[in-house]
Structure 1
């Protein structure tokens, strides 16, 4: 006897009431909103007694009075009580009581479920291991329980297993859970899929298809029409599924991570532990699985403090081991995806651990494996598809912090030390050689690609070189550190030398202090003392302009001067005095700076260093402005522009001198109240500043243009210039200029 027919009273009673009302199944379906198929199943005992919402709809369609409705509810309760002991298939797992975050994702899925247009809604929740995809799907199912009175069903498709569940097995399980009798289940997978769609079309169910391995596995399980909802979770994007709502999960926000830790462990809820909680969240990479494990370890060890846990997690070599509790672990979750990789993708995965920066381009990945770029692209796609790598741009990729640690672990296990060292050196050498080629686009003596160069990176213009240097900065800088540690001193010096003129484009960037600190130290290990003087000068520039330590910058410059004087090198003596002058001017000693600049100019002239000479004249003008000698500053700028026309100056130094001369002259004219002249001079400088690209020059010029237009009564024209000045100067240390720009906007009734 079929179990579901053991208590037929509800079906019989419903049939009697329908017939007494003179209604066919189709008429009752139209009157109640409950499908004819569902009514048929209930009358024949093929489904459980309906929930309250469905029962109320049937009562309305039948026109039952309160007494009749009460009788029907009693029968339904007896029916449910009788079937309560029967094991229910595909029951959703227990929801997490301390679920945190994901409000936007839940809202998107709710709206998708309620859209009511087109085919039955399907949402695909995808992302790397440990993001809480299952927890999110179960949370949604719990929140929408009233909307799906015909049942919420959960099925783990075991997509990360060596043998995932077949679509045929999944279909049988779902049909049985939907109370289709074993004898009524179709013979073939295609027929079962059609049968499942037919059942779901007539009911309002929610399916959670967890841990899907492929489109082929999950496609036969999806509803086609009706009001049922399917939520699919997968580490893969499942891009072959059309017409679905894709929810890409990311790590939690910092405040959500902290909230989750506080919900799990009482130690984390102590306000005094806030800094430690923040550190734990950061070390867990804001990954929900890692946070839950960390919180559980803390909660089950009352003697531990949050600081104790921080200390454990701070050891990168032991972090993955620490993030394990019971039978779950972060590394275990990653390993399931790693096991699905092809052999070439496994090699690529572990070798990407060599990359020193946060992200990288596909060309760098190809260098690590030595493979064809197309094969590397396929490997990267495979890693992204399995959630082991994230795409951070059109051609850029990055690891989650914990997955990087897992890749490093696989690298140590799977490759011998000699192979690791050779691969790392090959990568570093390639990065530094490419950086030298890119940087030399900005050097006066180069400004082009070397003859015969055929690297894989597009460096055919200065703009392409700049783009590569900025995108890969963390990587070539990391390679410089590696070369310095490995004793490749001349290579370190060569890279820094290639960056000398390029660094002017990003004069306020703090990383130049490290670059020239390394090159200064490397040059001191080489026999050429002229290189040492040169790189001491560069380091002085970085200390003054980038690290904003003018006192240190002056001391370093004078060390360089002493070495250059001992060598009789007039050019490096000139540069040393120029950098000392910069340091003294920034340190509030303009008179001393002016003297240093003038001595440096004489030495540069004697040495025939026209590029250095032309760079010094604007420094003299800056010092004169600081001394309030504006007319002299204006004349110095005019002399600079005349010298450009008579001296053989290289393109980049010429561009720098032109924008500086025009800009400083405009500032002096503005300070003298000669607003119309200041406006003309600033507008004349603007094209040069745009070409040069340094935000400080552009910000200063927009400020002068805005102030001049204000003074000339052109208030509407002044507004956009002042806004741009505030935007450009916001991250730069030009406090006085920022203040002037904000004051100008305030006078126009705006706040910056």
Structure 2
């Protein structure tokens, strides 16, 4: 997910089951979560994989404070509460978000693993409307609950999505620590037989790729090079050309910043070799960087987008 945890039809059934177990109507859940009733209905039936941004932004409310897990009081809470909305309501208007209702989708009486998936799901929804502090809030709680439920695969899945969200929320160090937690979990001998090999490989690739954007965005070029070299060629081997192109491109940018011009030029050329298998903007960026290197000019600064 460029968006963390995705929606599937089985997840829609889980959402419906959780809603019904709390005796909530779709309208009540819509009011508590800020998602339109129609969007929730479509998700429960598996008809929608991504809610419409306009629908989800149809109401706004008071600005949201920073992540709540920084406070001990929030750590003791087990029920989901409705995250605050970003943005401000127009002057002179009232909004139903002025007094958020508790979201009872997963309460203290529910199964811990179901609560974890509910938080992961709500984090994904907040991510789709760029409410990254709220998304990080839910993902973090989901990771805690997956740990409590001893569900290592759920923990790995939600933690991978959390790296990008934490980075977007300006919590670079927390993103790096999350990646370390993932790698420590993968290396733990207790989980050797619990994590399927394909999940282990994909998780390691995704986590390192995601954290490389943190290093790039912070200008930590040596850390970025180390991360990208550790996964160099692995996306190519799997035929994932779009991701492979970005690894080559970003490694070239980082190497150029460190003065490794010959190696950087080789990585830019690797992007161009992929031709139409990578997006045009990636090829254009590689061409610009290669031209700058060959003419002795500085490589232009760019914004690293995952």
State the secondary structure of the residue aligned to 1:637: helix
Of 625, 630, 636, 2:172 maps to 630
* Structure 1 position 573, deviation (Å): 3.4
* Structure 1 position 599, deviation (Å): 1.2
* Structure 1 position 658, deviation (Å): 0.5
**Cα root mean square deviation, aligned:** 4.4
Corresponding residue for residue 292 of structure 2: 747
* Structure 1 position 598, deviation (Å): 0.6
Corresponding residue for residue 228 of structure 2: 682
* Structure 1 position 707, deviation (Å): 0.9
Offset from partner CA, 1:335-374 (integer Å, 9 cap, x none) = xxxxxxxxxxxxxxxxxxxxxxxxxxxxxxxxxxxxxxxx
Residue 700 (1) aligns with residue 242 (2): no
Q: Distance in 2 between matches of 1:705 and 1:659?
A: 15
Q: Quickly say closer, same or farther: Cα 1:694–1:586, change in 2 above 3 A.
A: farther
Q: Quickly say closer, same or farther: Cα 1:721–1:683, change in 2 above 3 A.
A: same
Offset from partner CA, 1:385-425 (integer Å, 9 cap, x none) = xxxxxxxxxxxxxxxxxxxxxxxxxxxxxxxxxxxxxxxxx
Residue 666 (1) aligns with residue 190 (2): no
Of 730, 744, 747, 2:279 maps to 730
Corresponding residue for residue 49 of structure 2: 542
* Structure 1 position 686, deviation (Å): 2.8
Q: Distance in 1 between matches of 2:239 and 2:55?
A: 28
Corresponding residue for residue 257 of structure 2: 711
* Structure 1 position 611, deviation (Å): 0.6
Greater fraction strand: 1
* Structure 1 position 543, deviation (Å): 1.7
Corresponding residue for residue 612 of structure 1: 154
* Structure 1 position 597, deviation (Å): 0.7
**Preserved CA contact (<8 Å) 2:43 2:49:** no
* Structure 1 position 541, deviation (Å): 8.9
**Runs (5+) with no aligned partner, structure 2:** 22-41, 59-81, 83-102, 296-306
Corresponding residue for residue 585 of structure 1: 127
Higher relative contact order (CA 8 A, sep 6+): 2
Q: Distance in 1 between matches of 2:219 and 2:248?
A: 17
Q: Quickly say closer, same or farther: Cα 1:574–1:663, change in 2 above 3 A.
A: same
Q: Quickly say closer, same or farther: Cα 1:738–1:746, change in 2 above 3 A.
A: same
Corresponding residue for residue 141 of structure 2: 599
**Runs (5+) with no aligned partner, structure 1:** 1-503
Q: Distance in 1 between matches of 2:182 and 2:242?
A: 20
Q: Quickly say closer, same or farther: Cα 1:639–1:537, change in 2 above 3 A.
A: farther
Residue 639 (1) aligns with residue 181 (2): yes
**Preserved CA contact (<8 Å) 2:56 2:129:** no
Q: Distance in 1 between matches of 2:202 and 2:45?
A: 17
Structure (1 or 2) with the larger CA radius of gyration: 1
* Structure 1 position 550, deviation (Å): 5.6
Any residues of structure 2 matched to 1:414-433 within 5 Å, and which? none
**Preserved CA contact (<8 Å) 1:722 1:745:** yes
Q: Distance in 1 between matches of 2:45 and 2:292?
A: 42
Q: TM-score, normalised by structure 2?
A: 0.56
Any residues of structure 2 matched to 1:397-412 within 5 Å, and which? none
State the secondary structure of the residue aligned to 1:568: coil
* Structure 1 position 594, deviation (Å): 0.8
Q: TM-score, normalised by structure 1?
A: 0.25
**Preserved CA contact (<8 Å) 1:702 1:722:** yes
Q: Distance in 2 between matches of 1:724 and 1:663?
A: 18
Offset from partner CA, 1:645-697 (integer Å, 9 cap, x none) = 22332223222220122112322222232223311211112355346554443
State the secondary structure of the residue aligned to 1:588: coil
